[in-house]
Amino acid sequence: MDNNISKTELLYTKSKPLDHLTIFDGIMLMIEQQAQAVTDVKKAHKQIENAINKIVKQLTVNQNSRLIYVGAGTSGRIGVQDGVELFPTFNWPEERLDFIIAGGKKALLNAVENAEDNIYNAKKIVNDKTINSKDIIIGLAASGNTPFTCKVLEECFNRGALTIAISNNPKGKLLNYGKIKITLDTKEEIIAGSTRLKAGTAQKICLNIISSMVMTKLGRVRNGYMNAMVPTNRKLRKRQEFIQNKLLK
């Protein structure tokens, strides 16, 4: 194997190729692989705990600290999926949340040509957003080597920000720029290179844990309820009323 190729790009060979399986066997294999993603996250629990502790401390000490998610392609979309929930779920201030996505908002719905290779744009965005030592940057890359994401994290690291590098490749360059390094070693995919599968699942679980525990330790969860949620529709207004009644007892 070429040492420069991440295992996330390789084919899973412990079964027949997916297109050689029956639908039933394909389903079972995919379920098995998704379950493996949970195990891979569990192996990184100490790194994740360290990240949570450092993030909580940073957000508590600096009332202007921002949580900023960084990524390209699937990893960028997973970061956005986690971050956008922080306001309605925990009433996290929108001005203390941001995203740096290769290709910008357009890339959330479309593949933007060469966006993940554009390191010059990465440097410009970091400068435009005036990222500083108070900010927290969470960078995700399945291969660990995405040029855009690596450059953003490098620039933020050099500015003294608290950088969290999440890579599915233990040898990913991204880890060089993380003050806290989290490795989710998910290895090969059953559709070679399709990191929207096991690698993406592991990333989403990891972010769920980090953001939920951070918000909980900041007091935005009480007795297991979302005591700071923002009711943006009728269903959520009913939920808020239910929660308030529970917490008053």
Measured distance CA(70)–CA(76) in Å, rounded? 6
Measured distance CA(84)–CA(97) in Å, rounded? 8
Please report whether residue 166 resides in a domain. yes
In the chain, the number of structural domains is: 1
- Catalytic annotation, pick one of 116, 154, 155, 189: 116
Please report whether residue 36 resides in a domain. no
pLDDT digits (tens, 9 = 90+) for 38-67: 999 999 999 999 999 999 999 999 999 999
Examine the residue annotation and report whether 189 is marked as an active-site residue of this protein: no
Confidence (pTM)? 0.93
- Catalytic annotation, pick one of 9, 32, 49, 85: 85
pLDDT digits (tens, 9 = 90+) for 208-224: 999 999 999 999 999 99
Measured distance CA(22)–CA(197) in Å, rounded? 19
pLDDT digits (tens, 9 = 90+) for 123-157: 999 999 999 999 999 999 999 999 999 999 999 99
Examine the residue annotation and report whether 116 is marked as an active-site residue of this protein: yes
Please report whether residue 14 resides in a domain. no
Please report whether residue 2 resides in a domain. no
CA dihedral 233, 234, 238, 239 (to 10 degrees): -30
The rounded percent of the chain whose pLDDT value lies above 90 is 81
Please report whether residue 1 resides in a domain. no
Please report whether residue 195 resides in a domain. yes
Domain residue limits at 121: 42-248
The CA R_g of the chain, rounded to the nearest whole Å, is: 19
Please report whether residue 79 resides in a domain. yes
Please report whether residue 230 resides in a domain. yes
Measured distance CA(95)–CA(79) in Å, rounded? 17
**CATH at residue 113:** 3.40.50.10490
> What's the longest Cα–Cα distance across the chain?
62
Give me the helix-helix angle, 23-43 and 45-61, nearest 10°.
60
Q: Angle at Cα 248 formed by Cα 245 and Cα 249, nearest 5°?
A: 95
